Chains A and B, each alone.
Chain A
Amino acid sequence: MSTVLFTLLLGLPIAGTVLCALLRGRKPLEVVTVVGSGLTLCSGVWMMWKVITEGVVSSPQGWWYADGLSAYIILIVSGSAFVVALYSTGYLRRQIRNKKVDDQQLWLYYLLINVFLFTMMLVLLSNNLGFLWIGTEATTLATAFLVAFYERESSIEAAWKYVILCSVGITLALFGIILTYFSALHVVHVSGNALLWSSLIQVAKELDPGVLKLAFIFVLVGFGTKAGLAPMHTWKPDAYSEAPAPISALMAAGLVNMALYALMRFSILVNRAVGEGFTSTLFMIFGLASMAVATPFILAQRDFKRLLAYSSVEHAGIIVFALGIGSPLALFGALLHLLNNAIAKILLFLTVGNVQMAYDSKIMRKVTGAIKVVPVSATFLMIGVFALSGWPPFGMFISELTIISAGFSSGAVVQVIAFIAILATIFGGFIYYTSKMVLGEPSAAAKGGDAGKWSLVLIGLLLLALLVLGVSIPPPLKMCIECAVNVFKG
């Protein structure tokens, strides 16, 4: 039974990749990608169900492994991929009509989305930490040409910086993994098992604390680079602003969460070996630093996709900060925020993509009066920004409130006050820029033409989801998150 699930989750994206490699023409590529990612999402739901009812799922030889945490992240990542695949169909049709994209690029786009989904599943399902590393580096490589998609000078520059920085980070993380392997070798006597999560977690208490602390620092820097934590975040604004809007959405909602997942996994192991304090302190420092570093760039920004990229740095910081607090309530808040952030980021990157196409610019000065040019997208943008800034009645209000109250009750008062101050400042910046874009008289550059009906319905549904999450957390979701939080307790 479990073998079927692993085969589906890994096999569907591989099948999608192979089919896309063989097929030509817009229609078949669209069908393969949408159906493939949709079925992956269904398998993800099945996996979550199995983990909730039966506990940890692993394959017979111990290659693959899923518990509440991985199943929950798989849900978010495959869900994001499905939504982005749906939106991409309309987006690329319009790009082809505007002669921005040719058939060859279209093919590459769908092919690489499938490869990207496969590499993320590889990371999330690996029991072997070495495979987790290989998958993470592969996500960078799979997205390299997607970032450079428009082949402008600036997009090649962004892609270069992205591949180089993430590869350096991940090389350092590999040293961290080798140190973990070294410390496990004399406890786990079968050397093939010393990299397996399932055996490491059982012997965690016997691992050498000193070596594991050093390992965690390297892992934090490495996967922190992928998650875009400051000061390793500098690739993010470039890559997000140069990539096509749906790809930025998938990176902000999928890739970041996958990297955060890797950090959570390692922190669980290190916490058992050295006690809670060590990872908590580091997480709090990196979390608050990421939020603080993002703030000035959000307040003085001219490009709205870069604005969202810095918001992604900020929200990765929020989640890592919550991990640093570490109480079950804070972890619940962090995992809920992961979902809220994924939905809000997709929502905003897609609406901003619509606006960008209508104005043929992503410079905020050139975009004014969007409410008259693309009324529906502009409305979604304005509401979406309130949702992203943590206003009620949207989901992020609940998750941020959870994190704040968890912080106060565990005594991190000063840190939480800094946290709230940064959130408020960033909210001000966002509202200032968005209202200038949405309101006022349309600029001359506006060509008009909103996205198709179905793309807008899709974005509307995302907004609805944030609204539902803000009113009350649906019981099934609560069960999923609690199942994931239990992994931390062990």
Chain B
Amino acid sequence: MGIANLQSIGLVIDILAAAILVTAFLIVSSRNLVFYIRLFAIQSLLLGVVALLVVVGYGEMHILIAAILTIVIKAVAIPLVLTKIIERIQVQKEIDFSINITVSLLLCGGMVILADSVAQSILSVQRPDIPAVSRVLSVSIAMMLIGLFVMMTRKKALTQIIGLLTMENGVFLSGLSITYGMPLIVEVGIFFDILVAVLILGVFIFRINKTFDSISIDLLRSLRH
């Protein structure tokens, strides 16, 4: 592929990575569970497209299957399952925060700066073979931090799942950016684990709902010490 084409693919990947980061911020500022799930689906779709571009632009064929799995499992299947769950248990869709949106967004902005400095220190290794897409490493680390933040501050059980999946997306993007993705069989195993984890957590949500009549984790406080 020509240098000009490669440069434009690199540019598109940068733009997509920025868009992925925007979805993470929108998740932080969203008040509605349905939006959470849709934003996560969009985020995963963009991630899948980034993976496809790595296949096209840099000839890393082994990532093709991981890209397809990202779109099929993370952008379609998991959002469908989660949507079904909130329809079935007819949960109140407003989310309670322990930190309000403005402060949350400021904190997440700080996390992006932190993530960038960590990424720079990783990439400071002088090596000829650092992938061209390694620029998006800071976005991936920022997503891990924001996912963790969502898990710690949002009180619905479902938001914890979305936070965890955002972290997973961040880790997948980090793999893409500095190594062009892990070997295929490892990626497939990881997808399998994630899917099973979401299904198990889904079953627990049903059971929590049955016994507590709500899926707010505030109620999950009977075990202490």
Chain A positions within 8 Å of B, measured between CB atoms, are: 128, 130-131, 133-134, 137-138, 140-141, 144-145, 148, 151, 153-154, 156-161, 163-164, 167-168, 171-172, 174-175, 178-179, 181-183, 185-186, 191-192, 195, 208, 210-211, 214, 237-238, 241-242, 297, 300-302, 306
Contact = CB atoms under 8 A, between A and B. Distances in A.
A175 B183 contact: no
Nearest to A185: B179
B204 A181 contact: no
A151 B207 contact: yes
Given A191-B183, A208-B125, A168 B207 contact: no
Interface residues of B, number: 43
Interface in B166-187: 167-168, 171, 174-175, 178-179, 182-183, 185-186
Contacts of B160: 164
Contacts of A161: 220, 223
A353 to B, nearest CB: 19
B35 interface: no
Contacts of A167: 164, 197
Given A134-B193, A179-B178, 11 more contacts: A130-B182, A134-B192, A148-B204, A164-B164, A172-B144, A178-B174, A181-B182, A195-B182, A214-B121, A297-B225, A300-B225
18 contacts: A128-B183, A134-B186, A134-B190, A138-B193, A141-B193, A141-B200, A157-B208, A160-B208, A160-B220, A163-B200, A167-B197, A174-B171, A178-B179, A191-B179, A195-B183, A210-B121, A211-B125, A300-B225
A171 B164 contact: yes
Given A131-B186, A153-B211, A191-B183, A137 B197 contact: yes
A148 B195 CA distance: 19
Contacts of B174: 175, 178
B222 interface: yes
B157 interface: yes
Contacts of B148: 168
A116 to B, nearest CB: 14
Nearest to B221: A157
A192 B183 contact: yes
B189 interface: yes
Interface in B42-78: none
Main SS of chain B's interface residues? helix
Nearest to A136: B193
B207 A156 contact: yes
B132 interface: no
B196 interface: yes
Nearest to B189: A134
A148, A159, A182, A208 interface centre (most CB from chain B within 10 Å): A182
A211 B196 CA distance: 31
Contacts of B85: none
Contacts of B129: 185-186
Contacts, number: 128
A185 B178 CA distance: 10
A160 B201 contact: yes
Given A133-B190, A141-B197, A157 B164 contact: no
Interface in B203-219: 204, 207-208, 211-212, 217
B151 interface: yes
A192 B182 CA distance: 9
B186 A160 contact: no
A269 to B, nearest CB: 17
Given A128-B186, A181-B182, A156 B200 contact: no
A179 B179 CA distance: 9
B223 A238 contact: yes
A195 B127 CA distance: 19
A153 B222 contact: yes
Nearest to A171: B167
Contact of A179 (B122, B127, B201): B122
B182 A178 contact: yes
B125, B151, B192, B197 interface centre (most CB from chain A within 10 Å): B197
B200 A144 contact: yes
Contact of A175 (B128, B171, B193): B171
Contact of A154 (B151, B178, B197, B222): B222
Contacts of A241: 223
B174 to A, nearest CB: 6
B137 to A, nearest CB: 10
B223 A130 contact: no
A152 to B, nearest CB: 8
A246 B121 CA distance: 46
B125 A130 contact: no
A164 B223 CA distance: 16
B134 to A, nearest CB: 9
A179 to B, nearest CB: 7
Nearest 9 interchain pairs by C-beta: A130-B186, A134-B189, A137-B193, A157-B220, A182-B178, A238-B223, A153-B211, A178-B175, A156-B207
Interface in B118-147: 118, 121-122, 124-125, 127-129, 144
Interface string B154-167: 00010010001001
A303 to B, nearest CB: 8
Given A185-B129, A211-B122, A160 B204 contact: yes
Nearest to A153: B211
A238 B208 CA distance: 16
Contact of B207 (A140, A148, A183): A148
A241 B197 CA distance: 22
B225 A141 contact: no
Contacts of B164: 164, 167-168, 171
B200 A145 contact: yes
B214 to A, nearest CB: 12
A150 to B, nearest CB: 12
A164 B175 contact: no
Contacts of B175: 178, 181
Contacts of A148: 204, 207
Contacts of A175: 144, 171, 174
Given A214-B122, A301-B225, A164 B186 contact: no
Contact of B171 (A178, A181, A195): A178
A148 B210 CA distance: 14
Contacts of A185: 129, 179
B178 A178 contact: yes
B112 to A, nearest CB: 17
